[in-house]
Structure 1
Amino acid sequence: MAWIYLVIGGLLEVGWAIGLSFSKGFTEPLPSVMTVILLLISFYFFAKSMKMIPIGTAYAAFTGIGAGGTSIIGMIFLGDKVSTAKIFFISLLIFSVLGLKFSSKDGMKKDENNPEV
């Protein structure tokens, strides 16, 4: 469940990162409010995941999901430049997040509320 929380938080990070762009330095009211709401919800899920995933793994995965997702959305929908190098490094980032997920079982924290974890 911790990784589900982490992925939700990372995907919401994509939303607030893009929202920052649309808020134009927090001068546009609606995008600004939406950005802050997404940021708060994103950090809520990130914090929940850290109860069960070590901080280094959680933070690296959280920011990797956010950075990779924001770059992909930027290239597909917002006119960011696409290059072979960008695609390679975003793919590397995604595989790195997956590697953290699959190599972190031994480093899992015990969840006090769920003894099976």
Structure 2
Amino acid sequence: MNSWIYLIVAGLFEMAWVLALNFSDNFTNYLFVFLTAIFMILSLIFLSLSFKTIPMGTAYACWTAIGAVGVIVFGILFLEESANLFRIFCIGLIIAGVMGLKLTS
């Protein structure tokens, strides 16, 4: 499988574990605590697989960006978080940075 696919999957699991952690209610909802741990492990496995052909720094930056942007968008769409223009502009900057890293790798 292509290393970029591994990296995207790792980023999606990164997003999933952060969301599961949020829904764990400070580690009192054991289903979400369990899911947090599983998603963390899967995220790290797929991230490590992406290192085969993607430089570590690029992979790490993209991995965190996928997770961060995904969680922000989820929060805006489903958790009534702020969607002001400056916040959306900053999300665009993160995406532009990831695209730049992809182009240089």
Normalised to the residue count of structure 1, the TM-score between the two structures is: 0.85
Structure 1 residue runs without a partner (length 5+): 105-117
Q: Distance in 1 between matches of 2:25 and 2:95?
A: 28
The question of 1:73 aligning with 2:77 is answered no
Runs of 4+ in 1 over 3 A off after TM superposition: none
CA shift digits 1:75-102 (9 cap, x unpaired): 1111111110110010111121111111
Structure exhibiting the larger radius of gyration computed from Cα positions: 1
Paired position in structure 2 for 1:91: 92
Q: Distance in 1 between matches of 2:89 and 2:104?
A: 22
User: Per-residue deviation at 1:22?
Assistant: 0.4
Paired position in structure 2 for 1:16: 17
Q: What is the aligned-residue identity percentage?
A: 43
Q: How many residues align?
A: 104
As a proportion of its length, which structure holds more helix?
2
Normalised to the residue count of structure 2, the TM-score between the two structures is: 0.94
Please provide the CA RMSD for this pair.
0.9
